[in-house]
């Protein structure tokens, strides 16, 4: 469900895994020769019948009670069976600092009793074999997903590329689902004229901020806007980060971090993304910043204040720590997001404000798309609740201490199906999401909270 909420449903993406082929890597030669990878815990039986991680946990604890909680082993078994996909990259390791092989997963999970101690098997095309020392302490676990540790993945991949003995790395074939403007309009509840205006603004200005009340679907719209402009759901061209009070220039661009030898210069998320985009100038790239107004923007952007301007793209400036000449490529688009209802936050830095265009996203209860969605559910209580919420939004908009920026968004009611749109589900939204928000809005007016809480609940009777 999380992927769907972020607009990533249907996306195929390569994941990277660290894998220990037996204790002390004693199974490595046999696994390499047979083109497989395997896990132990033979007494567990065929894990393909387990429908959830909880099922794996129950079987593990019942079979090996003497080993305690076994949290890491349970997680590894579930990932090996259900989360690892064809095309994923495997780095075989020995100890905590040595990589001994690289491969690409080519087979689904099978349980093969002939392997005795290691019957949980996947076929792997091992593309590299050798010994590469990595200047990082590797996890002790049997299986570790390192997809989002981009620095570690880059170090390991670079070690293969620098080796004279290794064969060329074959890129996994990726099939990205097509995604058009029509697909965007079907799911985001926006009319074509407004969509075209936002796309034109982003292409010309390069930087926009989607702002609006909680629940209007800013993150959902941002990622799908990027996919619609690319024409495919290519997650490799989209990067999402979230700003917060502790986020810094060092996280964003570059900075020194502790390492085994003291300190090392580590590149940040935006630097790495721009470098990747610069090597692929024919395609659009989208850097999405959630909660952009929660960070210290002057500190985070530093000298990039100027470089992100549309007419300064391609111009170089010297970075603070490395003294490297750096530029923001023309094919990088920045989409920021902010809640207009967050009263604890200071106004955006004016120097940054003039470099972004601001797009207001409003609750879409009256849009054609949402109305069609509502009719498709065929639930009268759902319709009654939405009608009360629309009345509530009018009251919020007219309140001098609040205003339109505090209205309740439509996304609280999205992603439902006729079979999941139950009385209990609707009551949960009212009691645990909407009413707590009203208590925050009208903390000094309990009468209004009681009035609207009662109206919301009565709509479900």
DSSP per residue over 176-229, as a string? PPB--HHHHHHHH---HHHHHHHHHHHHHHSEEEEEESTTS-HHHHHHHHHHHH
Does residue 395 carry a pLDDT above 80? yes
* Mode of pairing for the β-strands spanning 285-290 and 238-242: parallel
DSSP per residue over 326-377, as a string? E---TTEEEEEEEETT-TTSPPPPHHHHTTSEEEEE---TTSHHHHHHHHHH
* Section 163-185 average pLDDT: 63
In a domain, 174, yes or no: no
Q: How confident is the model at residue 14 (pLDDT cuts 50, 70, 90)?
A: confident
Do 400 and 282 belong to one domain? Answer: no
Does residue 207 carry a pLDDT above 80? yes
Residue 192 burial (C-beta neighbours within 10 Å; 0-12, 13-18, 19+): exposed
Indicate the range of 259-268, 322-331, 346-355, 404-413 predicted with least confidence: 346-355
Do 337 and 372 belong to one domain? Answer: no
Do 294 and 212 belong to one domain? Answer: yes
pTM exceeds cut of 0.75 = no
Q: How confident is the model at residue 70 (pLDDT cuts 50, 70, 90)?
A: confident
**Higher per-residue pLDDT: 202 or 258:** 202
DSSP 49: G
Mean model confidence pLDDT for the chain: 85
Do 107 and 240 belong to one domain? Answer: no
pLDDT of residue 2: 39
Indicate the range of 8-12, 52-56, 228-232 predicted with least confidence: 8-12
H helices of 399-434, in order, are 423-429
pLDDT of residue 175: 56
Domain boundary among 161, 193, 226: 161
Q: Would you report the helix, strand and coil content of the chain in percent, each value rounded to 5?
A: 45, 20, 35
In a domain, 169, yes or no: no
What does residue 61 show for φ and ψ, rounded to 5 degrees? Answer: -70, -35
Q: How far is Cα 333 from Cα 343, in angstroms, rounded to an integer?
A: 28
pLDDT of residue 165: 46
Positive/negative CA dihedral, 360, 215, 232, 89 = positive
**Higher per-residue pLDDT: 12 or 206:** 206
Do 224 and 207 belong to one domain? Answer: yes
Do 218 and 357 belong to one domain? Answer: yes
Q: Which of 176, 296, 180, 184 is nearest to 238 (CA)?
A: 176
Angle between helices 192-205 and 181-188 (to 10 degrees): 120
Q: How far is Cα 70 from Cα 60, in angstroms, rounded to an integer?
A: 8
User: Which CATH number characterizes residue 49's domain?
Assistant: 3.10.590.10
Domain holding 400, by residue range, is 368-458
Indicate the range of 19-33, 293-307, 374-388, 398-412 predicted with least confidence: 293-307
Indicate the range of 66-70, 92-96, 262-266, 317-321 predicted with least confidence: 66-70
Q: What Cα–Cα distance (Å) separates residue 437 from each residue in 25, 85, 345, 424, 433? A: 54, 40, 17, 19, 6
Q: Is 152 in a helix, a strand, or coil?
A: helix
Does residue 414 carry a pLDDT above 90? no
pLDDT of residue 172: 42
In a domain, 221, yes or no: yes
Domain boundary among 341, 361, 381: 361
- Out of 49-53, 148-152, 357-361, the most confident range is 357-361
In a domain, 321, yes or no: yes
DSSP 79: I
Q: List pLDDT tens digits, range 217-260.
A: 898 899 999 999 999 888 778 888 889 888 899 989 999 888 76
Q: What Cα–Cα distance (Å) separates residue 170 from each residue in 127, 160, 167, 173? A: 8, 12, 9, 9
Number of structural domains (the chain) is 3
Sheet with strand 207-212: strands edge to edge: 238-242, 285-290, 332-339, 207-212, 357-361
Angle between helices 368-377 and 380-398 (to 10 degrees): 140
- Out of 54-58, 355-359, 449-453, the most confident range is 449-453
**Higher per-residue pLDDT: 3 or 228:** 228
In a domain, 166, yes or no: no
Do 102 and 234 belong to one domain? Answer: no
Residues 6 or more apart whose Cβ sits within 8 Å of residue 296: 245, 247, 248
Does residue 139 carry a pLDDT above 70? yes
pLDDT of residue 64: 82
**Higher per-residue pLDDT: 12 or 460:** 460
* Section 381-398 average pLDDT: 94
Contacts of 412-418 spanning 24+ positions with Cβ under 8 A: 412/215, 413/382, 413/385, 413/386, 413/389, 414/217, 414/373, 415/1, 415/4, 415/5, 416/377, 416/382, 417/377, 418/376, 418/377, 418/378, 418/379
pLDDT of residue 177: 78
Does residue 6 carry a pLDDT above 50? no
Q: How confident is the model at residue 328 (pLDDT cuts 50, 70, 90)?
A: very high
Domain boundary among 361, 385, 400: 361
Do 339 and 388 belong to one domain? Answer: no
pLDDT of residue 140: 83
In a domain, 242, yes or no: yes
In a domain, 175, yes or no: no
Cα Dmax for the chain: 76
Contact 25, 19 (CB under 8 A): no
Does residue 5 carry a pLDDT above 50? no
pLDDT of residue 287: 95
User: Which CATH number characterizes residue 205's domain?
Assistant: 3.40.50.300
Do 320 and 205 belong to one domain? Answer: yes
Do 345 and 377 belong to one domain? Answer: no
Q: How far is Cα 66 from Cα 279, in angstroms, rounded to an integer?
A: 53
DSSP 109: -
**Higher per-residue pLDDT: 452 or 86:** 452
Q: How confident is the model at residue 10 (pLDDT cuts 50, 70, 90)?
A: very low
Do 109 and 192 belong to one domain? Answer: no
Q: How confident is the model at residue 265 (pLDDT cuts 50, 70, 90)?
A: confident
pLDDT of residue 1: 38
Q: Which of 75, 84, 110, 81 is nearest to 16 (CA)?
A: 84
In a domain, 101, yes or no: yes
Q: How confident is the model at residue 59 (pLDDT cuts 50, 70, 90)?
A: confident
* Mode of pairing for the β-strands spanning 262-267 and 254-259: antiparallel
Do 222 and 323 belong to one domain? Answer: yes
Contact 285, 335 (CB under 8 A): no
């Amino acid at each position: 469900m999380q992927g769907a909420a972020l607009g990533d449903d249907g996306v195929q993406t390569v994941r990277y895994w660290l894998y220990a082929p037996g204790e002390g890597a004693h199974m490595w030669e046999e696994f390499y020769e047979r083109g497989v990878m395997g896990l132990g815990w033979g007494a567990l039986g065929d894990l393909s019948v387990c429908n959830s991680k909880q099922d794996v946990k129950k079987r593990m604890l019942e079979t090996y009670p003497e080993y305690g909680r076994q949290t890491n082993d349970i997680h590894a078994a579930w990932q090996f069976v259900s989360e690892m996909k064809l095309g994923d990259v495997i780095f075989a390791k020995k100890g905590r600092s040595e990589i001994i092989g690289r491969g690409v997963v080519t087979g689904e999970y099978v349980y093969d009793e002939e392997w005795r101690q290691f019957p949980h098997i996947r076929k792997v095309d091992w593309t590299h074999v050798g010994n590469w020392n990595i200047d990082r302490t590797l996890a002790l676990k049997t299986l570790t997903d390192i997809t989002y540790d981009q620095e570690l993945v880059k170090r390991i991949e670079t070690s293969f590329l620098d080796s004279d003995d290794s064969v060329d790395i074959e890129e996994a074939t990726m099939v990205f689902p097509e995604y058009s403007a029509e697909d965007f309009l079907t799911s985001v509840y926006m009319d074509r004229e407004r969509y075209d205006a936002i796309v034109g603004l982003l292409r010309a200005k390069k930087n926009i901020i989607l702002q609006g009340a909680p629940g209007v679907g800013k993150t959902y719209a941002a990622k799908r806007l990027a996919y619609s402009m690319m024409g495919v759901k290519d997650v490799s061209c989209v990067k999402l980060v979230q700003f917060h009070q502790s986020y810094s220039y060092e996280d964003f661009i570059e900075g020194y971090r502790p390492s085994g030898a003291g300190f090392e210069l580590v590149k940040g998320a935006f630097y790495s993304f721009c470098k990747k985009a610069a090597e692929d100038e024919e395609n659009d790239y989208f850097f999405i910043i959630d909660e952009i107004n929660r960070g210290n923007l002057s500190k985070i952007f530093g000298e990039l204040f100027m470089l992100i301007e549309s007419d300064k793209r391609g111009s170089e400036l010297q970075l603070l720590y490395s003294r490297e000449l750096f530029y923001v490529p023309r094919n990088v688009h920045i989409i920021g997001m902010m809640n207009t209802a967050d009263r604890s936050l200071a106004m955006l830095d004016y120097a940054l404000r003039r470099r972004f265009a601001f797009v207001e996203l409003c609750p879409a209860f009256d849009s054609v798309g949402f109305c069609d969605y509502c009719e498709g559910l065929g639930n009268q209580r759902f319709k009654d609740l939405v009608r009360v919420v629309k009345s509530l939004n009018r009251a919020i908009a007219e309140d001098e201490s609040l205003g339109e920026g505090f209205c309740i968004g439509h996304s609280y009611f999205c992603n439902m199906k006729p079979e999941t749109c139950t009385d209990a589900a609707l009551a949960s939204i009212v009691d645990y999401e909407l009413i707590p928000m009203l208590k925050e809005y009208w903390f000094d007016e309990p009468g209004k909270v009681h009035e609207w809480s009662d109206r919301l609940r009565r709509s479900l009777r």
